[in-house]
Amino acid sequence: MSQPYLTIRRLVHLKGPNIWTYRPILEAWIDVGELARLPPQAIKDTYARLTAALPTLLTPGGGIEASKGFAKQFENGVWAPAVVEHVTLVLQQLAGMPGGFGETRATDTPDLYKVVVRAWHETVTLQALESAIALISSAVKGSVPPVEPIINTLHTLRIKHCLGPSTACIVDAADDRDIPAIRLSAGNLLQLGYGINQRRIWTAETDNTGAIAETISRDKDLTKSLLQACGVPVPQGQAVNNAAQAWEVAQEIGLPVVIKPSDGNHGRGVFTNLSTHAEILAAYPLAEQEGSGVLVERFIVGFEHRLLVVGGKLIAAARGQHACITGDGKQSIRKLIASQLNADPQRGREEDLPLNYIKLDSAVELEIARQGFSWESIPALEQTVVIQRNGNVAIDCTEAVHPDIAETVCTAARIVGLDIAGIDLVVQDISKPLIAQQGAIVEVNAGPGLLMHLKPAIGQARQVGRNIVDYTFPAGDMARVPVVGITGTYGKSMVGKLLYHLLGLHGWNTGLSSTDGLFVQKRKLHTGNSANHENARRVLLNREVQAVVLENGAKQILSEGLTYERCEVGIITNIDWAQDLSEYKIYSPLERSGVYRTQMDVILPSGMAILLADDPQLLALSQYCDGQTTLFSKSASTPALIEHIAAGQRGVFMDHGQLIMAQGARRYNLCNVSAIACTEQAQNHQQICNVLAAAAAAWALGVSMELIEAGLLGFDPDTALPS
Amino acid sequence: MEVSRIRALRGPNLWSKHTAIEAVVTCAGAEADLDQIPEFVTRLRARFPDVKPLRPFGHKEPISVAHALEAVGLGLQAAAGCPVAFGRTIVTPETGVFQIVFQYTEEPVGRLAMDLAEALCLAALNDEPFDIKLALSKLRELDEDVRLGPSTGSIVDAARARGVPIRRLTEGSLVQFGWGSKQRRIQAAETSNTSAIAEAIAQDKDLTKMLLEAAGVPVPTGFVVSDEAQAWEMANKVGLPVVVKPRDGNQGKGVAVNIETREQLAKAFAVASDISSDVIVEQYIPGHDFRMLVIGNKLIAAARRDPPNVIGDGVHSIAQLVDHVNLDPLRGDGHATALTKIRFDDIAIATLSNQGLTAQSIPEKGKRILLRNNANLSTGGSATDVTDEVHPELAARIVTAAQMVGLDIAGVDLVAETVSKPMEEQRAGIVEINAAPGLRMHLSPSFGKARPVGEAIVSTMFAEGDNARIPVVAVTGTNGKTTTVRLTAHLLRTSGKRVGMTNSDGVYIEQRCIDTGDCSGPRSARNVLMHPDVDAAVLETARGGILREGLAFDQCDVAIVTNIGIGDHLGMNFINTTDGIALVKRVIVQNVAPHGSAVLNASDPMVVGMGDVCSGSVILFSRDKQLPVLNTHKAQGKRVVFVDGESIVCSEAGQEHRIALKAIPLTRNGTITFQTENAMASIAAAWALGLDWSIIEMGLATFVNDAQTAPGRFNVFDYRGATVIADYGHNPDAILALIQAIETIPANKRMVVISGAGDRRDEDIIQQTEILGESFDQAILYQDQCQRGREDGEVLALLQLGLKNASRTKEIVEIRGEFTAIDTALAKLQPGHLCLILVDQVQEALDHLAKRIAEA
C-alpha cells in the first residue's frame, strides 16, 4: 500500500543552470501517495485550511505566476505536488527571500512527481520544502499548526546562511552586468569573475582595500591626526586614561564634549553632548568597557551623517535623526520606547532593517537621566524625550550634499587609503560648506554597511551595489576567462583533451575538468572522473587560469547542473537518442534534447555554439543559443552544413580527406585528417568528429589556423595530458 | 651648569644632516674651563670610562662642562648600541654660554641621553655616585621599545638605500615611504598593496585550505569540529596521528601536533577551543617545519625551523642542559638576536612529560630532547636558511599558494621532509599562510645565509629607479619669499601638477587653504608632503623653523634664496649678524639633491656665496646683467637669469630664452623691481624643474597678485584719485624694495603709515623710519595692538628717532590704533597723492581699507 501522505523520494540540488532554469534549484521527487485519491470534500477542506493559515497563497503575483493561481491548482486531480511547490515558495517569501521559479511535472511512475523550486540556499530551501509538506499533511488531516514559528525558523536560517543585504546588492549588480559571482565562504566572501580575471569582494571591501588602510581606519586617534595634518576638519580631542583626566581634557577643549571608545564600532559606548562633571564621570567607565582606550572630543553640534565614498567618488549620503518619544502623561518611558520606537516595523535587531532596535542599556539610561528621567518616569503629555542621539542614520540626503563636503570626504578616504569608505560626519546642514558651520569628520570606516543607502527609512534608495561593481570592473569587463562547455553523448573527453592541448599552445594557462581528471597548467590536480561540479569549480577559482574547458555529460547536467552560468563556447558533440537516462526519469526525445539544450542556453551573445551538422534534431537546439553557431561534419555534402556556410556562418568539415574551415565564401584548407594521429588514419568516425569540433572551438576562441593545424598534427592523445 | 632650551632637530639643520638634540648650556665660573677643575674629567671617566677624549691633542682652547655634556650625551647612546657619531659644542657670544648638539637615532632616546648626561656631569661635578649600568640599560630598553622592529627596520633600510624618503607615522611600525601622491605605506611586513581581504582569508585556515586545494596545492586533509567527540571521530577519519589547532589563531598558539591518543586529543582540544570555538583536526604530516617567504610572485627566502631542543650528555639533567644552552651569548631575551633563550615553562614541561621525561631526567649522551613542538624563534627555536636548496617545482607551488590567497607578502608554512624535492614526491603539505610574516628568521637566521628581504619588498612597491619623491622647492630669504612661493607654485600648477604650498599666510593644497597663519615651519611642510593629493611642493622655509627643528625634508630639488640684505629677526638664537642669518638660510642650499639646483640672487653677495655648499647646480639671477659674478657664471656656461632691456633672459651655454616683462603682469612692465626679481627666481626654479617655456610663460601671464590672492603684498588701490599701496613689509630691506618700486609711480605728495614690531631690535626699528624719511613727505606713526613686551610709547619714540634727521619728511603724526591711523591717512589724501600703508594686522587692516574704499 502506498504512503498515506507526501513523501520525498529523492532530492537533487542543481547548483547551476539546468533543465529547468538558469538558477540553482532544488528538485524533489515527491510521492503523493493516497493524496492523489482524496475525496472532493477533503480537498475542499484542505484548500480552506491552507488558505486560512497562509492567506498570502491567494495574493495574486506574490512571486507566483498569475496563470497558476492557487485555487486553480486544486481544480485538477494532481493538486498536491503543485501545492507543495506553491507553499514552499510562499514560505521562502514570508521568510524574506524573493519568490522565484517553481515547476511541477509528472513522471512515468504513478503518483511520483518532480517538484522544482528556486533554491536561494540549499539548507533554507530544503527546510521550506519540508515545512510545506508538513503543513499540507496537517491540513489534510484536519488542523494546521500556527505558521509563525515555521516562518521564524526559516527566517533565522536565512539570516544565518544567505548573503547579508550589503553583499547581496553587490551580487545583484554584478549579475546585471553578467559578471559571475561565486560564494567562497559561508560568510560574505565572494569571487566575482573567473580564473585570472576574478576579483574578490567581502561585504563592502574589495581586493583593492588595503590592510594597512583598514588598520588605520580602526585607530580613530591616528585617523584623526592624519586627517588633521591634511587639513580635513576633525573634532579636537585627545585620548585619556581615567575619568579625572577626561574631565580635565573636557574643560580644556571646551564643553560640551563627546566621550567614546577609541576603537569601538556601531556607536556602542559613545556618549555625546556631555557638559557636566557628573555626566563625564558617568560616561567614562561605559566607554572604557567598549574599547581599548577612551577619547574625549569636542561635541560637534549638528546631525550625524554617513557618506559613502567608492573609488574616489561620493556615492550616497544619509542623515541621522534623534530617536525621541512623546509623552502622553500616562505611560512610562520604558513603555513608550516599546510602543513608539521599537514597534516601528523599520526598526529591529536584524541587519536588513534600517533602524536599530533600541536596547534599554546604560547609554539610553544616561541619556534620559540627563533629562531628569528614569525608566519608570512618566513624561507629561506632548513632552519630548530624546532616547538616542546616534545610531539612526537612515534618511537619504545624497542629492543635498554640498560639493565642498563631497570633496572633503573623498579626500578623507584617500588620506586613510581606502577605496571604499563610509565617512561619519557631523554637521548642521549638509548642503552648506563644512568649515563655516564648524562641522567635522568624526570617523572613517572600512567595509561600511550599505543598508542605510539601500533601504533608507526616508528618501530615495541608492543603487550602491552597482557603484561598487562599476568601480571594481571597468565598463564592458565581465571578469571572465573563456569557458568552453562540452556536452554530448560521446567524444567529450577527447574534444576536451584536444582543446586543452590547442589552448595551451595558444599561450593560455588552461584548466580542464573531464572524465580523464582535473588538469591545470600542465599539472594533473585530480585523478579519476573530474567532470563534476566540485572539480569544475576548482578550475574557475584558480587565479592562474586563463581559459577553462569543462566536460558536462547529460548525467552531470541532470544531477548537478552546470558549474558556470554563461560560457564563450558550447559544444554538443552528438546525441545518442537511445542513451539510458531512466535513472533520471528522462525518456522522450523532447526531454533528452532538453538536457543538452541546457548547454545552448548559457552561451554568451558574443559566444559560439558548436554543433554536429548531421543530426537535424540536435541542430534544432541552435535556436537556444544567443551567439553564433559553427557546424561541423565529416561530410562536406551535409545539407545543413552547406546551407549554414552559404549563409555566411562557420563550418568545419572534411573534404576529400582534408580538414576544411569555411565561412561564407572563404575556405581554409588545413592538413590532411589522416595525418592527425588520433584519427587512426582517418578511419575512426568519432575521432574525426572530435577533431572537427575541437578545431571549431579553437577557431571560435581566436586561435590561428596555422596554430590549429600545427597543434592537431602534433597532438598525441597519450601524452597530451600531464600525468 | 644649567641646561636650557633642549630641542630635537628632526631634519637637516644648521649643524649637520643628522637628527640631533640641541641645548643651551650655561657654565658658571670654572665650569667654563675644565683646566681649573682637573678632577672633573677624572671623576667623569671613573663613572663612564667610555667617554671620548675631550680635548684634541695640541689644542689649547678651553674645554667646558658643556663639551663634556655633549661627549657624554653622544657616548651614552653609542654605548647603548645606537649608531650615532656626530656631536659639537659651540661657543656663543655670551660668556659661559654654549650650545651643544649631538646626534640621535630615536628622539626619545636622545632626550633621555640628554637627561642622563646632565645627571652624570652633575654627579662628576659634585663627586656623587652615578649608576652607569642602570643608565645604559634604561637607554637600551627605551631604544628597543621605540625603534623599529627588525622586520620593519629591514624594509625601511632598503627603502632608504634607494633614496626613498621615510617618515614614521606612529610610535608603532606604520611608516610612510615617499611623499604626496607618490607615497606608499608599510606596517611591519605589510604594504599598501596588501589586501585586507587576502589577510582575512589567511586568517581563516579552512577557507585558505579550500582555495589551495582548488589550485592543486597539497594541504593536509582536515575538518572543522566543534566538540571533542567530533574531533576524535574526525581524527580517526583522516587517520592518526593528527594535528589539533584553533581555526582562528596565530603564531602557533594552541597548536598541538602528533596527537595519537584520545587523552592527548582531549587535552589539545581543550587548549585550542579556548582560543577559537571552531577547532581544526587535520592529518599530521611528519617532517620539518619550513617557513617560505613569498614576495610578489617570487619565493625569496626559505628557512627550516627547529623547535628548541637540548642534546643529552649523560650527566646533566634537562633543566641544567637548558640553562647551559641559554648561557650562549647569541641567545637574547627579545627579538634583537638571532636566537632567543629557550623558555622553560609549563609547555616545555608538558612536552617533556609527553616523552615520559621530567626536568630532572638525565638524558643519555647524544639524545635529542624536544622542549616544544613548535619552532617559533621567540620561544627558543632556531631557523636555518635553506633558500638555495628549494626545488623549483616546490617553489612554484608555494607561490601559487600565496597567489590563491592574494597576498603580496606571505609567509607560507610548509611541512615536508625536504624542500629539495617537489611536494608531490613526498608527504608534504602547506599548513598555514601568514600575512605580515616576521622576517627575522630570514634577516638573521640562526644558521646559514641572511636574505635581503627588505630589498625584495621595496622592489615590489616601487618600479626600478622610482624613489617615490615629488619635486620639492624650498624658498627662503628676507623678502619676496611669499610671492616667489606663490608664483613658483602657480607655474607648477600650470604644468598640470597638483601643488601643495606653504607660506607665511597658510597651507594650500591645489587652490584650497587647509591651514592659516604663519605656516613657513617644518610642521606645515611635513603636512604638505604627507597629503595624498600633492604632486609637487613649494615650501616657504623660514629661519625660525630651521633653527627650531631643522628641515622637514632630507633633500629638495630646488632651493631658492631671494636675498639676505641687511637682515631681519636679528638678535634671536645667538644670531646677531647677517652672516649668522645667512648660515641658517643656507641650510636649504646645503640640502639640494645632487640632481637639483640652487636658485640664488646674484646681487646679494651673501646669497651668492651659498653656491659653494650646494651639491647640485646653481642658477644665478639678477636684474643687473653687468654683475661680474653673474657674468662669470654665464661665461662658464652655467644657467643665469637676468634683465636685458624689456625682457627677462634665461641663458645657458650660449642659448638664450627671452620673456618680455610686459608679459608678466606681476612686474607691471618691469616697474616693480622687486616683483621682477621674484619673477626671475620663480622662472629659474621652473626652469630647473624642466618645465616647458610655453608653460612657464603661460603661468607668468596668468598669475594674479591682488589683495585677495596675496594680502599685504604690494596691494594697490585707488582712493578718490589717490594711489594707496598696502604692504606687510616690516624690515629695512623690504622697505628699500618698496621705495624703489613706488618711486616709479608718479605722485605729487607721498605719505607713509608705519608702526614698529616690538620684538625687533631698537636699531632695526629706527632704521625703518630713517629710510622712509628720505622718500616721504608725511609720516603717520602708529602703535600697533601687540607691543610684544615694549612699554607704551616706546616703539613710537624709536620711530620718531629715525625721522630726526629726515631730509624729506616734514609732517609727522602719532596715532594709537591701526584703523585710526588708516582713517587719518585717508582723510588727508587728495587726488594725485600717494600713500604707502605698512599694515600690521594684515587681514583686518585690508578689510578696513576695503570698507573705506567702498564707501568712497
pLDDT top residue among A678 and A625: A625
Distance of CA A700 to CAs A306, B114, B822, Å? Answer: 49, 77, 85
d(CA B93, CA B165): 37
Predicted confidence (pLDDT) at residue A67 exceeds the cutoff of 80: no
Residues of A in contact with B527 (CB under 8 A): 229-231
Predicted confidence (pLDDT) at residue B671 exceeds the cutoff of 90: no
Is A543 in contact with B215 (Cβ distance < 8 A)?
yes
Is A222 in contact with B216 (Cβ distance < 8 A)?
no
Residues of B in contact with A446 (CB under 8 A): 196
Q: Which residue of A has its CA nearest to B184?
A: A417
CA distance B294 to chain A (A): 16
Q: What's the DSSP call for residue A634? A: S
Q: Flag the least confident range among A436-450, B81-95, B280-294, B355-369.
A: B355-369
Alpha helices in A230-276 (DSSP H): 243-253
Q: What is the mean pLDDT of residues A233-243?
A: 90
d(CA B477, CA B466): 32
Q: What's the DSSP call for residue A57? A: G
Predicted confidence (pLDDT) at residue B572 exceeds the cutoff of 70: no
Q: What is the mean pLDDT of residues A490-496?
A: 96
* Parallel, antiparallel or unpaired: strands A603-612 and A567-572: parallel
Do the beta carbons of residue A631 and residue A641 sit within 8 Å? yes
Predicted pLDDT of residue A58? 76
Do the beta carbons of residue A253 and residue A259 sit within 8 Å? no
> SS3 letters for B769-816?
HHHHCCCCCEEEEEECCCCCCCCCCHHHHHHHHHCCCCCCCCEEEEEE
Is B403 in contact with A209 (Cβ distance < 8 A)?
no
pLDDT band at A260 (very low <50, low <70, confident <90, very high): confident
User: Residue A489: what residue type?
Assistant: T
Predicted pLDDT of residue A77? 64
Predicted pLDDT of residue B457? 97
CA distance B581 to chain A (A): 30
pLDDT top residue among B472 and B775: B472
d(CA A168, CA A98): 12
Prediction pTM value = 0.86
d(CA A335, CA A326): 11
Predicted pLDDT of residue B345? 84
d(CA B486, CA B499): 10
Residues of B in contact with A526 (CB under 8 A): 216
Do the beta carbons of residue B838 and residue B729 sit within 8 Å? yes
Q: What is the mean pLDDT of residues B576-598?
A: 91
Predicted confidence (pLDDT) at residue A637 exceeds the cutoff of 80: yes
Residues of A in contact with B533 (CB under 8 A): 411, 414
The model's pLDDT over A560-569, given as tens digits with 9 standing for 90+, comes to: 999 999 999 9
Distance of CA A400 to CAs A273, A292, A434, B2, B408, Å? Answer: 26, 37, 13, 62, 41
Q: Which residue of A has its CA nearest to B199?
A: A211
A380, three cell numbers: 507629561
Residues of B in contact with A213 (CB under 8 A): 192, 196
Q: Which residue of A has its CA nearest to B216?
A: A525
Predicted pLDDT of residue A443? 92
Query: Of B197, B423, B516, which to mutate for an interface test with A (greatest number of A Cβ within 10 Å)?
Result: B197
The share of chain B scoring above pLDDT 90, in percent, equals 60
d(CA B199, CA B206): 14
Q: What's the DSSP call for residue A647? A: T
Nearest CB to A210: which of B196, B200, B216?
B196
Do the beta carbons of residue A98 and residue A120 sit within 8 Å? yes
User: Residue A267: what residue type?
Assistant: G
* Percent helix, percent strand, percent coil in chain A, to nearest 5: 40, 25, 35
Residues of A in contact with B403 (CB under 8 A): 543-544
Q: What is the mean pLDDT of residues B51-74?
A: 89
Is A209 in contact with B195 (Cβ distance < 8 A)?
yes
Mean pLDDT of chain A: 90
Task: List residues of chain B with CB under 8 Å from any CB of chain A.
Answer: 169-170, 174, 185-187, 190-201, 204, 207, 210-211, 213-216, 400, 403-404, 406, 435-436, 507, 509, 512-515, 526-527, 530-533
Distance of CA A128 to CAs A84, A183, A269, Å? Answer: 10, 22, 40
Is A205 in contact with B197 (Cβ distance < 8 A)?
yes
CA distance B194 to chain A (A): 6
Q: What is the mean pLDDT of residues B38-66?
A: 89
Is A213 in contact with B196 (Cβ distance < 8 A)?
yes
At residue B418, the 3 state secondary structure works out as coil
Q: What's the DSSP call for residue B182? A: G
pLDDT band at A2 (very low <50, low <70, confident <90, very high): very low
d(CA B399, CA B390): 12
Predicted pLDDT of residue B835? 93
Residues of A in contact with B435 (CB under 8 A): 211
Q: What is the mean pLDDT of residues A513-526?
A: 93
Predicted pLDDT of residue B335? 60
Is A211 in contact with B400 (Cβ distance < 8 A)?
no
Residues of B in contact with A548 (CB under 8 A): none
Is B190 in contact with A211 (Cβ distance < 8 A)?
yes
Is A184 in contact with B194 (Cβ distance < 8 A)?
no
Residues of B in contact with A293 (CB under 8 A): none
The model's pLDDT over B757-813, given as tens digits with 9 standing for 90+, comes to: 767 788 888 888 898 998 999 999 988 766 667 788 888 888 898 888 888 888 899
Say what the ipTM of the complex is. 0.88
Tell me how many degrees the CA angle B359-B362-B366 measures, rounded to the nearest 5.
120
Predicted pLDDT of residue A490? 94
Residues of A in contact with B537 (CB under 8 A): none
Is A222 in contact with B174 (Cβ distance < 8 A)?
yes
pLDDT band at B249 (very low <50, low <70, confident <90, very high): low
Mean pLDDT of chain B: 90
Residues of B in contact with A231 (CB under 8 A): 507, 509, 512-515, 527, 531
Predicted confidence (pLDDT) at residue B46 exceeds the cutoff of 90: yes
CA distance B514 to chain A (A): 4
Q: Closest Cα partner for A603 from A627, A579, A622?
A: A627
Query: Of B176, B182, B190, B195, which to mutate for an interface test with A (greatest number of A Cβ within 10 Å)?
Result: B195
Which run of H or of E encompasses B632? helix B628-635
Query: Of A212, A223, A513, A545, which to mutate for an interface test with B (greatest number of B Cβ within 10 Å)?
Result: A212
Q: What is the mean pLDDT of residues A173-187?
A: 92
Predicted pLDDT of residue A432? 94
The model's pLDDT over B641-662, given as tens digits with 9 standing for 90+, comes to: 999 999 999 999 999 999 999 9
Is A542 in contact with B512 (Cβ distance < 8 A)?
no
The model's pLDDT over B78-111, given as tens digits with 9 standing for 90+, comes to: 999 999 999 999 998 888 999 999 999 999 999 9
The share of chain A scoring above pLDDT 70, in percent, equals 96
Is A189 in contact with B196 (Cβ distance < 8 A)?
no
Q: Which residue of A has its CA nearest to B404?
A: A543
Predicted pLDDT of residue A266? 58
Is A215 in contact with B187 (Cβ distance < 8 A)?
yes
Residues of A in contact with B507 (CB under 8 A): 231
CA distance A211 to chain B (A): 4
Is A205 in contact with B196 (Cβ distance < 8 A)?
yes
Is B194 in contact with A212 (Cβ distance < 8 A)?
yes
Predicted confidence (pLDDT) at residue A555 exceeds the cutoff of 50: yes
At residue A436, the 3 state secondary structure works out as helix
The model's pLDDT over B503-550, given as tens digits with 9 standing for 90+, comes to: 988 999 998 899 988 899 999 999 999 999 999 999 999 988 999 999
Predicted confidence (pLDDT) at residue B567 exceeds the cutoff of 80: no
Alpha helices in B317-449 (DSSP H): 318-326, 346-354, 392-405, 440-443
Is A189 in contact with B200 (Cβ distance < 8 A)?
yes
Predicted confidence (pLDDT) at residue A483 exceeds the cutoff of 90: yes
Nearest CB to B207: which of A184, A214, A526?
A184
pLDDT band at A428 (very low <50, low <70, confident <90, very high): very high
Q: What is the mean pLDDT of residues B360-371?
A: 88
Q: Flag the least confident range among B190-199, B383-392, B712-721.
A: B712-721
d(CA A672, CA A317): 67
d(CA A329, CA A343): 19
Is B193 in contact with A210 (Cβ distance < 8 A)?
yes
d(CA A385, CA A334): 12
User: Residue B13: what residue type?
Assistant: N
The model's pLDDT over A671-688, given as tens digits with 9 standing for 90+, comes to: 999 999 888 877 888 999
Residues of B in contact with A417 (CB under 8 A): 185, 192, 532
Predicted confidence (pLDDT) at residue A61 exceeds the cutoff of 70: no
Predicted confidence (pLDDT) at residue A388 exceeds the cutoff of 60: yes
Predicted pLDDT of residue A63? 44
The length of chain B, given as a count of residues: 856
Predicted confidence (pLDDT) at residue B707 exceeds the cutoff of 90: no
Is A202 in contact with B169 (Cβ distance < 8 A)?
no
Predicted confidence (pLDDT) at residue B137 exceeds the cutoff of 50: yes
Predicted pLDDT of residue A80? 84
Do the beta carbons of residue B357 and residue B309 sit within 8 Å? no
Of A219-228, B32-41, B627-636, the range with the highest mean pLDDT is B627-636
Is B195 in contact with A541 (Cβ distance < 8 A)?
no
Q: What is the mean pLDDT of residues B335-339?
A: 66
Predicted confidence (pLDDT) at residue A353 exceeds the cutoff of 80: no
Q: Which residue of B has its CA nearest to A231?
A: B514
Angle between helices B65-79 and B38-47 (to 10 degrees): 10
Task: List residues of chain A with CB under 8 Å from any CB of chain B.
Answer: 184-185, 189, 200-202, 205-216, 222, 226, 229-232, 411, 414-415, 417, 446-447, 518, 520, 523, 525-526, 537-538, 541-544
The model's pLDDT over B158-195, given as tens digits with 9 standing for 90+, comes to: 999 999 999 999 988 999 999 999 999 999 999 999 99
